[in-house]
Amino acid sequence: MSDTDLSLPRPVVRLRPKAEARAIRHGFPWVYADELVTDRRTQALTPGTIATLEDAERRPLATVTVNPNSKIIGRVLDRNAEAVIDRGWIAARIARALELRARLFDAPFYRLVHAESDGLPGVIIDRFGDVAVVQPNAAWSEAMIGDIAAALTEVAGVTTIVKNGSGRSRSLEGLNEETVVLLGAIEGPIEVPMNGAIYMADVLGGQKTGLFFDQRPNHAFAARLAKGARVLDVFSHVGGFALACLAGGAAKALSVDASAAALGLAAQGAEAMGQGARFATRQGDAFATLEALAAEGAQFDLVICDPPAFAPAKPALQAGLRAYERVARLAAPLVAPGGFLTLCSCSHAADLEQFRAASSRGIGRGGRRPQLLHTGYAGPDHPMLPQLAESGYLKALFFRLD
């Protein structure tokens, strides 16, 4: 039933006297290293070990997974301190997540599991029809990847599963990078229909899982602004905003990205939509390209900038905010009078207020006056855990510029 030996006695870990047990009782999913009693026994636990968490008075709190090598030393798997974490438990969590997505979407292209928010800490699963890409970003999920894959096949009926073991989260857990096909075979990029556009997802060699489903509602809002417009999509990846805007009636769209491979996939998507003649790409550093376009006197009716996380953690916050301000300063002059500017952030460390302030400063320094029309977030297949601010990472600001 499980790849994990459930016959062994479960270890017990305990909060320090000053640790806030109430937060765990109220749904906070993490225990930080300085909150746990880390004696030699706890430090010797294998990363990913399932344990019972007790408060300082030795009262059971929850079933947790422990990684002594991580700053997040404990992750709450179940608030039942006696829960059995096996393949059946995983299947039940996936089934609950699937029921929600089936209500939300007509086609099976979405984020199926969004980590802590779906009760599977550190686990990301994106679905592309019959293909699922799993990111086991916590030690327990790496140890139980066989159970996760089996449960996923049983519940969702997928025929191909890719394990994408890359990214910053895994390095923080002390896990190696590895991307491998666990089940089935991948023949090439996968066509993904979304917002009337067609995207090409490289689930083996692309960024993250190959496509960013989180921007779906923001793509749709941008498309509403794009009818008849000249569109510039910077940090475009596989054409996220540009292709949605073409589907919404844009006159033409230019995608800018540093990756030639990503731009190639964007061009394939445009051709598949029958929009190849109205789509163009420009490879290069985003900041340098924004400066070059300004020097050329280029103007666009809608400019979108969706950069990678400039502030992935608190130590990078100030530098990240300066980078967001610089993006806004360079992008604003490229917007035609009365046109629109969309600025996005997927940085955990920069909250909405900080990002909005940095963006507004940059627009002002670019010589424009902004009118904020709309604030967008990740789609409902990326639900937020209210107790965990990090789960609500995506912000998209839509401005009209005078």
Tens digit of each residue's pLDDT (9 = 90 or more) over 85-126: 999 999 999 999 999 999 999 999 999 999 999 999 999 999
Split at pLDDT 50, 70, 90, the class of 1 is very low
Burial class (CB in 10 A: 0-12, 13-18, 19+), 346: buried
pLDDT in tens, 334-384: 999 999 999 999 998 999 999 999 999 999 999 999 999 999 999 999 999
Residues 5-21: pLDDT tens digits?
555 689 999 999 988 88
Q: For the domain 12-78, what is the CATH code?
A: 2.30.130.10
**CA pair distance 252, 292, nearest whole angstrom:** 19
Reduce the DSSP state of residue 233 to 3 states and report it: strand
Catalytic residue, candidates 245, 305, 344, 346 = 346
The pLDDT score that the predictor gives to residue 207 is: 83
For residue 15, what is the DSSP state? B
Q: State the Cα–Cα distance between residues 164 and 234, nearest whole angstrom.
A: 26
- Which helix H or strand E contains 263, and what residues bound it? helix 260-272
Task: Say if residue 2's pLDDT is above 80.
Answer: no
Q: Which of 143-147, 173-177, 191-195, 210-214 has the lowest mean pLDDT?
A: 173-177
The CA-based angle 331-332-334, given to 5 degrees, is 70
| Consecutive H or E run containing 152 | helix 145-156
Mean pLDDT across the chain, nearest whole number? 95
Q: What is the pLDDT of residue 198?
A: 98
Q: What is the pLDDT of residue 169?
A: 86
Q: Would the pTM count as exceeding 0.75?
A: yes
Domain with CATH 2.30.130.10 in the chain: 12-78
Looking at the chain, which residues constitute the CATH 3.30.750.80 domain(s)?
87-183
Q: What is the CATH number of domain 196-401?
A: 3.40.50.150
**Distance between CA 32 and CA 70 in Å, rounded?**
8
**How confident is the model at residue 187, as a pLDDT?**
93
Q: Cα–Cα distance between 150 and 354 in angstroms, integer?
A: 42
Q: Which two tokens stand for residue 93?
A: 């969590």
- Tell me what pLDDT residue 357 has: 98
Q: Stretch 146-164: mean pLDDT, rounded? A: 97
- The residue-averaged pLDDT of 177-206 equals 95
Each residue of 235-256: pLDDT tens digit?
A: 999 999 999 999 999 999 999 9
**What phi, psi does 58 have (nearest 5°)?**
70, 25
Known catalytic residue at 305? no
Once rounded to an integer, what is the mean pLDDT over residues 31-52?
95
Between 391 and 124, the higher pLDDT residue: 124
What's the CATH fold of domain 87-183?
Answer: Transcription Regulator spoIIAA (3.30.750)
In degrees and rounded to multiples of 5, residue 383 shows phi and psi of -60, 150
Looking at residue 401, what is its pLDDT?
A: 97
Sheet holding 395-401: strands in order across? 279-283, 252-257, 230-234, 300-305, 335-345, 395-401, 370-376
* Structure confidence at residue 6 (pLDDT): 52
